[in-house]
Structure formats: C-alpha cells, structure tokens
Structure 1
Amino acid sequence: MDINVPRKDVGLDERRKRRRLRREKQRAENVGRAEKMHLARLAGKGPGRHSTELAKSAYVGCSGWFYWKWRGKFFPAEMPTSEWFTHYAQQFDTVEINASFYSWPTVANVKTWLRQPGTRAFVYTIKVCELITHVKRFGDTETLVKDFGLIGDILGKRMGCFLFQLPPSYRFTEERLRAILSQLDHTRRNVVEFRHASWWNETVYSAFRESGTIFCSCSGPRLPDVLVRTANDIYLRMHGPERWYRHDYSEGELAEWAERIKNSGARRAWVYFNNDYESFAPGNALTMRRLLDQTGFDQAPSEVDVSVAAPSS
C-alpha cells in the first residue's frame, strides 16, 4: 500500500498510522542523505560560494505549495499536479520549502528546484531538516549545518533564507542560545523560529543583532504578537493567531501587520503564510503583497535602529 497516496475512504486511525510510518522512514533515511550531501560538499559539487543579490524588498508567499486540500480552491480542479508549481509561480515569486524539514534533500532534488521556475525570477526559502533542529537540537551539528548549506550554493541567485525551526518544548536558556549561534554559518541568511514564548527577550534579541541572525516573528497561538527586527531583513510566518494553520486573516489584520513591516525600517521583508489547512494561505498572501505595495514598503529607509514593533492596539 502506498502510504503517500491520499485516500478519502481511509479512516483517521489508518491515516495516522501511515503518517507515523512515513515519518519513521524519513527520519531513518535522513542520516544517510545528510552523509551523501556531506560527501558532495567535500567533493566541491556545488558551484561555490557567492553573495546572492536580491531584486525585491518584499517577498511574500506560502509555506509550501503542494497541498491536496488546495485542489479545486487555489488549483483548478482539473489541473494535473505536474502543473501545480507553474500555477503557483505565476502568482508568487517565492515559496518556503517545507519538505526539506521532513526529508533531507538530495543534490538532485535541489537541482530540480533550481530548474523548476524556468526563466521566472523566483526565490526559495529552505526550512532546515529536523535532523538538526528536532532530533539533535543543535547538539554538535556544526558540520551538518555546513553540509545543508550546500543547498544555497546550488540554488545560487534563487536562494533566499535558511529557516531553522525549533520545537515548542525547546525553552530558552543562555546555553542553548550560544549553541545555536555558534553553529550557524553567518555568511548565510539565517532565520531562527522559536515556538516557546521564553525566547522573546532582550538577551536573545541582542545576541541575534550582534551575529546578524534574523529572529522569526510569528502570528501563532500563545506566541507574542510582535514584529521583531534583529537584522536588515525581517521574517514573518503567519500560522494563525488562535488555531494553528486554519485562520483566515481579515484584511484589517493583514493591514496591521503590513504597517508594522513598513515601520520596522527593515531593508527587506520575508512573509510566508502557513495557514494552509483550509486553503487560506494563497489568498491571504496575495492580499498581504497588495497591502505592502500600498504602504510603499520598497521606499522604506534603509538605516533605522533595530527594534521590536508592538501591536498598535
């Protein structure tokens, strides 16, 4: 039985079993995939390091693009899945790759991403594999971080950010903060997302500023409703303020976030919508992009003190 094929007639218990088996298989394979990328990096199979010049000041898109629940809503019902990415890329110029969190990508995977947009100007943000963030939890992972960085070298001008997401159980300690920042490759555009509110504090902000690391602001349940800026770039993930992945943001809610982004003084903003469960993400992302255009964010000053933008209400 193919555990990856969606079936409407499969019960909840069976779906959970399939998901557990799939996750176990992915985690077992990630160690070997990471080792292959390590060897590829040592063999110099990437094109080499170079700075990525980005044309835009605001990149707005979705956290992933291949969702069965989007069929008949964002994707036309009769459109074959082979055309889904093209349809997405006709409306957005960036995507946050989530599959890389569950399954460490191969070099072939990354080269496919590189070719996928064709001649379009398109940028990827890559979510770092859970082997680093959830399994090892930054325990002696410096080599793994360097190996994963080969993805950025292959993507070249299509590379946006590396997103490191930590689990909700991962509470703030100064030791953990030092461990994270000491193992990141600070020549990359690194974003760190925490899911425990203890990380929203000035000790973390100050350390991130000093290293140039981007603190990920979140619209999510039980997380501080603030826009934090610790670098020239700001990064915002829209999960849903009360329920994970299911909230349909109103124009008023998005306008408030757009105003905060404009007032942050950042040179560049990355905004990704992860409220994909009921297909709200694409529509919300298009609205946010329009609102940012209306605020004139691309004309925002480039030199402003790094700060935390609190809610207006």
Structure 2
Amino acid sequence: MLSSQYAGNVSRWSEVAGLTNVERETADPQPPVTTAEELEARKARRAERRQKQREANDLRAAKMHDHRMAAERTGLPETPPGKGKVHVGCSGWYYWHWNGRFYPADLPRNQWFPHYRERFRTVELNAPFYSWPTVAAVKTWLRQADDGFVYTVKVCELITHIKRFEGTDELVRDFGYIADLLGAHMGCFLFQLPPSVRYSPETLDSILHQLDPRRRNVVEFRHKSWWDDTVFKKFEAAGAIFCSTSGPRLPDQLVKTADDVYVRFHGTKQWYRHDYSDEELSDWVDRIKASGAKRVWAYFNNDRDANAIKNAETLSRLFKAQKVMR
C-alpha cells in the first residue's frame, strides 16, 4: 500500500515527450472526478499502469546498460558545467491543472513545452523517476531543447525506492549515461530517498560510494535525521550536493556541500500547495547570496493552482534584482 504522500506524487508526474502509450496515458490530463466510483476506478487503473511501469524498468535499465557499455569503448566525458549560474524552474511542466492557468486553454498539448521553454531555461524532469527513460526518449528531450536549455533528471525509483541503493552501483552508472546523451543540456541528477529512510553511517557511505564523481549529483532526503554536520562533511568530501528542501516537518535550512546549491520548494506546511510570499523567497535569496555558491539550482514542486509558475518567476526576478552570481 502506498503512503498518501507517495500516492499523491504518483498522480502528479509530468513530461510526456517520448514516452510509451502506458506512460502517456498516465500523464495525460484527466477530467475532474465526479463520483466515488469514478475515483476508485481511476485509482485502480493508475495502480495497474504503475505496476506495468515497474515491471518494464528492469528491462529498460538493461537496454541502457548495453548502450552505455558500447559508448564507453570510445570514452565518456564529464558532465559539462552548463551555461549560466542561476537555474530556476519547475519540477515538471505537464500538469492538466495548468491548462487555462499557465497554458492557454486553446494551446495544443504538443505546444506546451515550447510555451514553458519561453518562460524558463530549465526544468526538473520527474517522469524518469517512475519510468526508466529509453534512449529514444532522451533524444526527444534533446530535440525539444533549444540552445542553453538545461534539464535536471530525477533518478528512477528502481535505484532509490525499490532497491534503496542496495547493490545498485551498475544501475547508477547506467542511468548516468543520460548525461552523456544530453551533453551541454544536462544539469543535475536528483536522487530522492523516501521518508522511511533514516540516517545511518552505513546507508550514507553506500549512497556516496555509488555516486559517479563525473556527474553533478544531488541527494534529497525526506527525513530530518539527515540534517547533520557529519552528513554534510561527508557530502563535501565526496563532492556531492545535499538538497536543501523546503517542505513540511523538514529543517528550513540552506545546506551547501559543493560549489552548487540545490533547493526544492515543495511548500512549508502542506506539500505541493503553498504559495510562497515575496518575503519568504527573498529570505532564500539572501541565504544563497551569503553562501558563496558558484551556481544555484532551484525548482518549485508546489504545482497546485500553478503556484510553481509565479513563485519561480518571482525568485528569478529577485535573483536579478540582487545581482546574485552575475
């Protein structure tokens, strides 16, 4: 049984370009639910689709492994630094409840990403968390990105939630092949751990040992036990980025463990629905400016009521006004 928070995440994922029919059906905007029976039927269909996705992930990972091994014979580059020092965007871009709010009601869905791209120069892709991307899907991302657009990619749950970093060294390297395909359009890899994973020295060492230092790796924890100086120091030694998380019941703290800082805005008291005030965002800008970071990655996951859009635009404006890292 999925927790209510995790089940909510399942219904919120985005990016449909290059996905299979099963994934596209899951991501497609749905009409409002009007009865309890319709709600239960939709939950059942979603659970069935999720199971199919999970069953397919092992096969997709194996195929990407083959691609990576073939590419390694010619040598793999490090993830390039990317253009720009301030990257602000949203966690996903394909949400049915943005239709008529952010996307014009008459705008075809195949034009949604170009519309998003006009307003933001980066996006955090959430769909790969649920379904391991194919090489064809990654090439689709490449085609739809113009010069200077950067993707951050959320790592598949096969690594972080199903296997929980146990025996996943090879899988982490295979997923990292996405960076080689994206090249200059690659931002960060986001590894999100479930709230049930609490701090232990063994778990920390296992995670950091498996991260590829050639990549820009971000780890997001959902349990407060990870906010600890011992953890921060080990992240610094590994060159990994500790994700600063604005979320309910988590420390309200900017953590800098590398040249880059990474912040995810979920909401302060309620997941995904909070509308950040200018004062709240100004406080984050002040912290980031004082941190001495060379680059900042900030993504808004409070997609309900399209708050993510206006909050991301406000944060970008505040960064420019204070000339942060320009």
TM-score normalized with structure 1 length: 0.92
Partner of 2:83: 55
1:112 CA displacement: 0.5
Report the alpha carbon displacement of residue 117 of structure 1 after superposing the two structures with TM. 1.9
Deviations 1:151-196 (A, max 9, x none): 0000000000000000000000000000001111011100000000
Question: Distance in 1 between the 2:124 and 2:160 partners?
Answer: 17
Tell me how large the CA RMSD over aligned residues is.
1.6
Alignment correspondent of 1:7: 31
1:200 aligns with 2:224: no
Question: Structure 1 stretch 42-51 or stretch 82-91: which is displaced more?
Answer: 42-51
Distance 2:160 2:97 in 1: 28
Q: Does structure 2 conserve the Cα–Cα contact (< 8 Å) formed by 1:127 and 1:165?
A: yes
Distance (Å, rounded) in 2 between the aligned partners of 1:137 and 1:207: 19
Counterpart amino acid of residue 32 in structure 2: K
2:78 and 2:215 in contact (8 A); partners too: no
- In the superposition, relative to structure 1, how do residues 47 and 275 fare at CA in structure 2: closer, same or farther (>3 Å)? farther
User: Matches of residues 32-47 of structure 1 in structure 2 within 5 Å?
Assistant: 32-44=59-71
The amino acid across from 2:105 in the alignment is A
Q: Does 1:104 align with 2:128?
A: no
Query: Which residue of 261, 283, 294 corresponds with 1:234?
Result: 261
| Secondary structure, counterpart of 1:148 in structure 2 | helix
CA distance in 2, matches of 1:284, 1:193: 21
Q: Any conservation in 2 of the 1:47–1:154 contact (CA below 8 Å)?
A: no
SS in 2 for 1:168: coil
Please state whether the residue corresponding to 1:297 is helix, strand or coil: coil
Match of 1:78 in 2: 106
Task: Choose 11-20 or 24-33, whichever is displaced more.
Answer: 11-20
Task: Give the C-alpha shift of residue 15 in structure 1.
Answer: 2.2
Q: Any stretches of 5+ residues in structure 2 without a counterpart?
A: 1-20
After the TM superposition, list the runs of 4 or more consecutive aligned residues in structure 1 that deviate by more than 4 angstroms. none
- Mapped partners of 2:200, 2:33: distance in 1: 46
What one-letter code is carried by the residue in structure 2 that aligns with 1:21?
E
Does residue 127 in structure 1 map to residue 135 in structure 2? no
2:311 aligned with 1:284: yes
Give distance in 2, aligned partners of 1:137 and 1:277.
Answer: 29
Q: 1:212 aligns with which of 235, 239, 249?
A: 239
Measure, in 1, the Cα distance between the counterparts of 2:185 and 2:130: 21
1:57 to partner: Cα distance? 1.1
Identity score, percent: 55
Rounded to whole Å, the distance in 2 between the matches of 1:172 and 1:113 is 35
State the SS of the aligned residue for 1:161: strand
TM-score by length of 2: 0.88
Displacement of 1:278 in angstroms is 2.1
Q: Distance between the aligned counterparts of 2:212 and 2:78, measured in 1?
A: 14
Tell me which residue corresponds to 1:186. 213
What is the aligned partner in structure 1 of residue 14 from structure 2? Answer: none
Amino acid at match of 2:91: S
1: CA distance, partners of 2:140 / 2:163? 28
Partner of 1:146: 173
CA distance in 2, matches of 1:53, 1:145: 20
Deviations 1:19-71 (A, max 9, x none): 21121111111010000000111121898314413221110000010111100
Choose between structure 1 and 2: higher helix proportion.
2
| 2:118 corresponds to | 90
Measured in 2, the distance between the counterparts of 1:200 and 1:21 equals 36
Q: Closer, same or farther in 2 for the Cα pair 1:25/1:51, shift >3 Å?
A: closer
- Give, in angstroms, the shift of residue 102 of structure 1: 0.3
Aligned residue for 2:148, secondary structure, equals coil
Counterpart of 1:305?
none
2:153 is paired with a residue of what secondary structure?
A: strand
- 2 CA distance for matches of 1:229 and 1:254? 18
